[in-house]
Amino acid sequence: MLKIQNLTSHYGRIQALHGVDLEVNEGELVALVGGNGAGKTTLLRTISGLQDASGGSVSFEGNDITDMVANKRVGLDIAQVPEGRQVFTALSVEDNIRLGAFIQKDKARIATDLEKMYARFPILKEKRNQAAGTLSGGQQQMLAMARALMSRPRLLLLDEPSMGLSPVLVMEIFAIIEELKEQGVTIFLVEQNATAALRVADRGYVMETGKITLTGSGENLLNDETVKAAYLGI
């Protein structure tokens, strides 16, 4: 479904991605783990188009989308939950969710999807008229998820969904991720919480200084000695 070949990206003269090869198949949950500054977020931003690629290619369902502008990629059913939530703080919770369906013209579909989101995240329904900036971190994460799901993505890119959340909320977020996978959403998950991510993932990639250094099934990576030492703290 998603195929990345020899992808490079630069911030000015600093190279952040050094030729990344990666693949996500339809229906899979693929995790990308690695330390701070490994280039995980840059990779995700390059996939969603927020960051320009300087070389290599990103293709989605066989079509090269390397140079497609970011706002067009939603139309391909790719949605991203960005790092740090990035909710629209001054807008209401409901407006945030509705903006997730910005390109959707079918009002009935938006209404049903909105109800679905409220059923899945009851706390958002309770706070629907509050400004999104007044929500707690965990609630903002739920909101960012709901907003992304409003476009009914077939490929969901998740950037550090567990960052800064309490253990209970982390479990809740991961339960939602597994549920989405069961519904057939293809998920590419970027996480520093390697244990949790690799546990739910079909396959995983380990990234270091802008390169993929290791790949395998989630289980294999969890049991890999170098991974254990570097990222799992075992």
Partner 1 sequence: MFAEFLQFLFSGITLGATYALVGLGFSIIYNASHVINFAQGEFVMLGGMGTVFFLGLGLPMPIAILAAIALTTLFGFGLEKLAIAPARGASVVTLIIITIGASIVMRGLAQVFWGKEFHAVPAFSGDEPINIAGATILPQSLWVLGVTVLLVFALRYFFDKTMMGKAIIATSLNRDAALLMGINVKLVLFISFGLSAALGAIAGILVAPITLTNFEAGIMLGLKGFCAAILGGLGNGMGAVAGGMIVGIAEAMGAGYWVSEYKDAVAFILILLVLFFKPSGLFGKTGTERV
Of 86 and 223, the one with the shorter C-beta distance to partner 1 is 86
**Near partner 1 in 120-159, by CB under 8 A:** 133-137, 147-148, 151
Is 82 a binding residue for partner 1 by CB under 8 A? The answer is yes
Is 86 a binding residue for partner 1 by CB under 8 A? The answer is yes
Q: Which amino acid is at 26?
A: E
Helix axis angle, 167-182 relative to 137-149, nearest 10°?
A: 10
Taking CB under 8 A as the criterion, the residue among 41, 48, 66, 141 binding partner 1 is 48
155 beta partners: 78, 186
Is 100 a binding residue for partner 1 by CB under 8 A? The answer is yes
Is 75 a binding residue for partner 1 by CB under 8 A? The answer is yes
Is 57 a binding residue for partner 1 by CB under 8 A? The answer is no
Taking CB under 8 A as the criterion, the residue among 14, 90, 119, 168 binding partner 1 is 90
d(CA 167, CA 170): 5
Taking CB under 8 A as the criterion, the residue among 23, 95, 208, 219 binding partner 1 is 95
d(CA 185, CA 53): 26
Q: Which of 177, 183, 169, 184 is nearest to 199 (CA)?
A: 177
Q: Which of 210, 204, 164 is nearest to 188 (CA)?
A: 204
Is 41 a binding residue for partner 1 by CB under 8 A? The answer is no
State the minimum distance, in angstroms, from the CB of residue 161 to partner 1.
15
Please give the order of strands across the beta sheet that includes 203-208.
Answer: 78-81, 155-159, 186-191, 29-33, 203-208, 211-217
Kindly list the residues in this chain that would bind partner 1 in the complex (CB under 8 A).
Answer: 48-50, 69-72, 74-75, 79-80, 82, 86-91, 95, 98-100, 102-103, 133-137, 147-148, 151
